[in-house]
Amino acid sequence: MKKLFKILGILLIIVVVFAIGGYIYLNAAYPKVSAAPDIKIEPTAERIERGKYLANSFAFCLDCHSERDASKFGYPPIPGTEGKGGFDYGADVGFVPAANITPDKETGIGNWTDGEIFRAITSGVNKDGKFLAPMMPYTLFSKLDKEDIYSIIAYIKTLKPITNKVKDKKLKFPVNLIFRTIPADVKDFGKKPDGLDKIKLGEYLGVGCKFCHSPSDKGEYIPGKEFSGGVEFPLPDGRVIHSANISPDKETGIGNFTKELFIAKFHAYKDAANLDPKVHGFNTPMAWSFIANTATDDDLGAIYDYLMAQPPVNHKVETVTLKGLN
């Protein structure tokens, strides 16, 4: 018996030593990201215009990085707070406030180099090389064209500086260790389609749509389930919102939508009456009015063409459920 305890004791020590060793290793070895590139982005009028469009539409930068109005459907950004950060994206894994990305020198990114901003957006580490949580969707932005990222940087540097010291994030174990292993150097950036191939254009602009509307497992989309919806978004009141099936399935998806109807659905959210959550019975993480007020019909149409070219997935989604009663 005594011998058994001794063996168990030794095993326990070994486990503890490995756990501590593993913890120290993960902390020391990650994130594994190279030095920020030495770039200077010329802020041409064309770049600022393009960056303004993307940051305020399909890249969702100013949707996440502004103060958001919970009393309106889709939590639209509050005018005058663009880029100030602070909205919490931690959901179940902790407290992860969006950063202040205005050019304020003390509390924003006013003294970051262009290369450091570029590296943060695409590789997921901050000025000091510390990991960013993937609620900042840098893995998606690494699929954009470099030129589009340059444009977004040129634009965010024109935002009005706002002094707002955002609190540090707090992540639960083991997420705090897992997240630090995700940042990585980008090998292949995307290529902006020429605009003539609408399906390719829709795919390029629609990475954010895919992110919320496709079920995933350990950060990978589940093959065959793309755009079938059902991704959970917990609300503060204990209910859960599920993203819609936007695959072209006629029964459970949007297969019966015409392009006109699809575009009109967005336009409807330019109307203040539609922004009252009471009309819908819930509030949604889907940035309806944010997109509706910037995206061109041509680009929304391209996303429609792309969605219609995907395989239909039969998957019935109930939009709102009580937590645990799904």
User: Could you count the other beta carbons within 10 Å of the beta carbon of residue 56?
Assistant: 20
Q: Select from 7-15, 214-222, 285-293, 308-316 the region that touches ligand HEC (CB under 6 A).
A: 285-293
Task: Quote the distance between the C-alpha of residue 4 and its chain's center.
Answer: 51
Q: In the block, which residue shows the tokens 């977004």?
A: 152
**Residue of the chain from 190, 208, 215, 301 that contacts ligand HEC (CB under 6 A):** 208
Q: Residue 284 Cβ, how far from ligand HEC at the closest point, in Å?
A: 3
For ligand HEC, the closer of residues 6 and 105 by Cβ is 105
Residue 243 found at the interface with ligand HEC (CB under 6 A): yes
| Residues numbered 23-52 forming contacts with ligand HEC, rule: CB under 6 A | none
Q: How distant, in Å, are the alpha carbons of 81, 287, 290, 296, 312 from that of 57?
A: 16, 9, 7, 9, 26
Q: Residue 6 Cβ, how far from ligand HEC at the closest point, in Å?
A: 45
Residue 59 found at the interface with ligand HEC (CB under 6 A): yes
| Residues numbered 168-187 forming contacts with ligand HEC, rule: CB under 6 A | 169
Residue 278 CA to residue 207 CA, distance in Å, equals: 30
Lookup: tokens for 247:
């695959």
User: Could you count the other beta carbons within 10 Å of the beta carbon of residue 244?
Assistant: 20
Answer yes or no: are the C-beta atoms of 105 and 164 closer than 8 Å. no
Neighbouring C-alpha atoms within 13 Å toward the C-beta of 20? 5
**Residue of the chain from 254, 275, 292, 313 that contacts ligand HEC (CB under 6 A):** 254
Q: Select from 12-20, 190-198, 219-227, 284-292 the region that touches ligand HEC (CB under 6 A).
A: 284-292
Single-letter code of the amino acid located at 269: Y
Residue 235 CA to residue 302 CA, distance in Å, equals: 31
Single-letter code of the amino acid located at 100: N
Q: Residue 266 Cβ, how far from ligand HEC at the closest point, in Å?
A: 8
Q: How many residues lie near ligand HEC (CB under 6 A)?
A: 44
Residue 65 found at the interface with ligand HEC (CB under 6 A): yes
Answer yes or no: are the C-beta atoms of 274 and 252 closer than 8 Å. no
Classify burial at 268, counting beta carbons within 10 Å of its beta carbon; exposed 0-12, middle 13-18, buried 19 or more: middle
| Residues numbered 87-146 forming contacts with ligand HEC, rule: CB under 6 A | 89, 96, 98-99, 101, 109, 117, 120-121, 126, 132-133, 135-137, 141
Q: Which residues bind ligand HEC (CB under 6 A)?
A: 55, 58-61, 64-65, 89, 96, 98-99, 101, 109, 117, 120-121, 126, 132-133, 135-137, 141, 152, 156, 169, 206, 208-209, 212-213, 233, 241, 243-244, 246, 254, 265, 284-286, 291, 303, 319
